[in-house]
């Protein structure tokens, strides 16, 4: 029997969207029919056009207003579901709110993408409605178990396509930094020029390959000292279809984020033999990055240690020959697209519709089924 699997996403590029695309592109079961519903606020992503994705049956753009009656929003969104047997794959809050407010019978899967309180809170609030939790790292799975959730908890690694091994480079290091938004304070982009200055002081000159939205090329230049600009290559917002083109010249990557779940970017880089320099992030990537063997750990907010690790790696030709091979082998083993998607699909197709349970997870006193949406919207626009 064919099972409709509906992924919900806000349309923004980043690791979550990569996971969705890779799940669909690497489809293994002929019983699964994949769909994506993009839930986009009316004041965001103007002119958004869904990308072409292999194996996706349909892609629907649902635009809503923050001023709408939440019950009205949920009813409108639920009309896009094919039937009550369709599996809802939740990657954020809106689809979970829809299920709880309307008491939908559909099976529900929550993908917990990060070791953040945000995801744990979503799982607790909507616990009665979620049948299956896919946790993308061991740390997340352990914390999910400690929350005593009703649904089945699966320690799971998302699929990432196998890339070609980059040429082993023993000359100048070429360091990649790629994120969705360079202005995201959590990503710590501002420490890169500080690291570069320490390297310069030690007569080490590296090339930087920078990708991310939020800054124009001229704005990005202001982050860097004048003497570094000739070695900083800025690519702007990077779409996934251009990832190979961006990474082909890189041999190392850096991600000094203050916190992370399990970054897709680290896996994508390692699958090409690109060596990561990253903080430990409470062990989120401990089965992937083995210090000194498949990558290097650095204490958070310590640009001096980042620089020292890079300097040591730069000068050790044996490490530079072996670690890229180890990194690719480890990433290919753990994030295998066939076994990952097979496990996901096998669990999803076993889910069944459930009895109706309703409760209000979100909304104010205006968000009631008996208030016409035009009145609620008018009041909120006046108040704001």
Convert the pLDDT of each residue in 174-207 to its tens digit: 999 999 999 999 999 999 999 999 999 999 999 9
Q: Compute CA distances 308 → 6, 31, 143, 223, 252, whole Å.
A: 46, 52, 33, 21, 14
| pTM (2 d.p.) | 0.88
pLDDT at res. 376: 66
Residue 154 phi/psi, 5-degree rounding, is -120, 125
The closest alpha carbon to 182, from 134, 144, 220, 148, belongs to 220
**C-beta of residue 88 within 8 angstroms of C-beta of residue 108:** yes
Q: Which CATH class is domain 3-159+338-383?
A: alpha beta
Place of tokens 């961006």: 246
Give SS3 for 54.
coil
Start-to-end CA distance of the chain, whole Å, equals 49
CATH number for the domain formed by residue range(s) 174-334: 3.40.50.2000
pLDDT reported for residue 384: 67
Task: Spell out where the chain has E strands.
Answer: 3-9, 32-41, 56-64, 87-90, 108-112, 132-135, 152-155, 174-181, 207-213, 232-234, 252-254, 275-278, 296-297
| CATH 3.40.50.2000 placement within the chain | 3-159+338-383, 174-334
User: Does residue 238 sit in helix, strand or coil?
Assistant: coil
Please tell me the distance from the alpha carbon of residue 101 to that of residue 92, in angstroms, as a whole number.
15
pLDDT beneath 70, residues of the chain? 360, 365-366, 370-371, 374, 376, 378-379, 383-384
The reported pLDDT for the residue numbered 178 is: 95
- Sheet strands side by side (includes 3-9): 56-64, 32-41, 3-9, 87-90, 108-112, 132-135, 152-155
5-29 pLDDT per residue, tens: 999 999 988 889 999 999 999 999 9
- If you ran DSSP here, which 8-state letter would residue 296 be given? E
How confident is the model at residue 144, as a pLDDT?
A: 93
By residue count, the chain amounts to 384
């Amino acid at each position: 029997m064919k099972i409709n699997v509906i992924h919900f996403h806000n349309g923004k590029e980043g690791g979550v969207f990569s996971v969705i695309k890779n799940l669909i592109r690497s489809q293994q079961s002929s019983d699964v029919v994949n769909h994506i519903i993009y839930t986009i606020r009316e004041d965001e992503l103007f002119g958004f056009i869904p990308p072409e994705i292999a194996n996706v049956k349909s892609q629907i753009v649902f635009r809503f207003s923050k001023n709408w009656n939440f019950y009205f929003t949920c009813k409108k969104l639920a009309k896009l579901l094919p039937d009550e047997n369709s599996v809802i794959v939740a990657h954020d809050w809106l689809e979970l709110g829809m299920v709880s407010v309307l008491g939908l019978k559909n099976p529900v899967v929550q993908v917990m993408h990060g070791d953040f309180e945000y995801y744990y809170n979503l799982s607790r609030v909507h616990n009665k409605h979620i049948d299956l939790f896919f946790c993308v790292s061991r740390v997340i799975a352990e914390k999910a178990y400690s929350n005593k959730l009703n649904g089945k908890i699966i320690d799971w690694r998302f699929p990432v396509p196998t890339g070609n091994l980059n040429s082993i480079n023993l000359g100048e290091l070429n360091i990649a930094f790629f994120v969705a938004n360079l202005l995201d304070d959590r990503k710590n982009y501002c420490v890169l020029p500080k690291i570069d200055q320490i390297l310069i002081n030690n007569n080490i000159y590296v090339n930087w390959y920078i990708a991310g939205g939020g800054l124009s090329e001229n704005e990005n230049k202001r982050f860097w000292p004048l003497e570094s600009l000739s070695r900083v290559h800025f690519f702007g917002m990077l779409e996934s279809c251009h990832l190979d083109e961006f990474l082909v010249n890189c041999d190392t990557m850096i991600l000094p984020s203050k916190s992370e779940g399990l970054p897709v970017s680290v896996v994508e880089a390692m699958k090409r033999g690109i060596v990561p320099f990253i903080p430990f992030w409470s062990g989120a990537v401990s089965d992937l990055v083995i210090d000194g063997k498949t990558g290097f750990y650095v204490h958070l907010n310590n640009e001096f240690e980042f620089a020292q690790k890079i300097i040591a790696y730069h000068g050790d030709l044996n490490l530079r020959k072996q670690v890229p091979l180890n990194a690719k082998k480890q990433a290919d083993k753990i994030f295998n697209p066939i076994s990952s998607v097979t496990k996901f699909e096998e669990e999803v197709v076993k889910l069944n519709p459930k009895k109706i349970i309703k409760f209000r997870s979100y909304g104010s006193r205006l968000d009631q089924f008996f208030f016409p949406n035009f009145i609620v919207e008018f009041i909120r626009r006046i108040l704001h």
